[in-house]
Amino acid sequence: MQNLNLKLDPKNDVVFIGGSTATGKTSLGVQLAKEHNGAVISADSRQIYIGMDIGTAKAAPRLEIPDTTEGLWAIPYKYDGVDHYLMDIVYPNERYTLFDFKTHAYELIKRLQSENILPIVVGGTGLYLDALIANYELKADKAEDLEVKRALEARIKEEGSQKLWQELNEIDPDAAGEIHPNNPRYIVRALELYKVTGKTKSENTKTGKPPFNPVLIGISYPREVIYQRVEDRIDIMMQQGLIEETKELLSKYDPELPSMSSLGYKEIKMYLDNELSLEEATDLFKQKTRNFAKRQITWFKRYEDMTWISPNNNT
């Protein structure tokens, strides 16, 4: 990674590193942490899950897991000599919301700043970054209506998630941009929120000035380079044992869990269920990940204050 020559105040600044998948965000976070006495706070909605390592491209899993995950969010583990937080903090069958993430991340930022350690938030989940940078005013419990929810779930089964995603995209394109068209649970939740409150997800979320100075860094490559890096990464995942990891997860957890809808695991399950050949499942995984990367690029380009860097292609 290149030298950014940043002048940072650990008691006031918080660095945010964003960008699409497979762009080297983890490497840059570690580099900056070493250069500026920092610690990394993960902003990845899939790397929170214990046991989902290969498919989420975790740099390294947490080696010691306590008997309970309660309070695990506050306990760091070392990767490449740097403290990392908010990875491997819940099991795939445990609920972890945007409210939880923002609450925990803000508490960690406050703690690190009090210890003169630079907080470095790293991740590709745009909504996670937005919640911190824009200081979303979130509530632990959102509006919920069981009747509306069941009606939407019935429509999903009859019409398919793609059609309801298109409906959501017309109502709330910001929310749709963060939800995969094949993720029925999240599509239902976003439409339910709109139908119950009459407001989009963004309208239900007030924003304010954060209690720190955000320093935004984005990593960018030409799109064709990102797509090639995505394909190379997935080939490595397959070599590392993604099929075996998926089998292990399916032996423990309900495949309908939100966590199990993550890219890669869903496609490998289709192979294990003899719905696709291994080549077809791998190609579908690559295609969906390229589409996901494209949506991430669009999301992060919205940040007017983000400084974009283009590292060498070998990072």
Q: How far apart are CA 56 and CA 83, in angstroms?
A: 19
Tokens of 216: 């935004």
pTM for the predicted model, two decimal places: 0.83
For the chain, the structural domain boundaries read 13-138+207-221+305-309, 146-197, 224-295
What is the CATH class of 224-295?
A: mainly alpha
Region 13-138+207-221+305-309: CATH code: 3.40.50.300
What gap in Å lies between CA 151 and CA 119, rounded to an integer?
43
Q: Bridge partners of 17?
A: 122, 217
Q: Which fold has domain 146-197?
A: Histone, subunit A (1.10.20)
- pLDDT digits over 261-307, tens only? 899 999 999 999 999 999 999 999 999 999 999 999 999 999 999 99
pLDDT in tens, 88-140: 999 999 989 888 999 999 999 999 999 999 999 999 999 899 999 999 887 66
For position 315, what pLDDT does the model report? Answer: 38
149-196 pLDDT per residue, tens: 888 989 999 999 999 999 999 998 888 887 888 888 889 888 887 887
Q: Which residues contact 298 (CB under 8 A, 6 or more apart)?
A: 177
Q: Which of 32-36, 203-207, 226-230 has the lowest mean pLDDT?
A: 203-207
Q: How many helices (DSSP H) and strands (DSSP E) are in the chain?
A: 11, 7
Q: How many beta carbons lie within 10 A of that of residue 136, not counting itself? A: 19
- Whether 286 and 231 have beta carbons less than 8 Å apart is answered as yes
Amino acid code (one letter) for 187: I
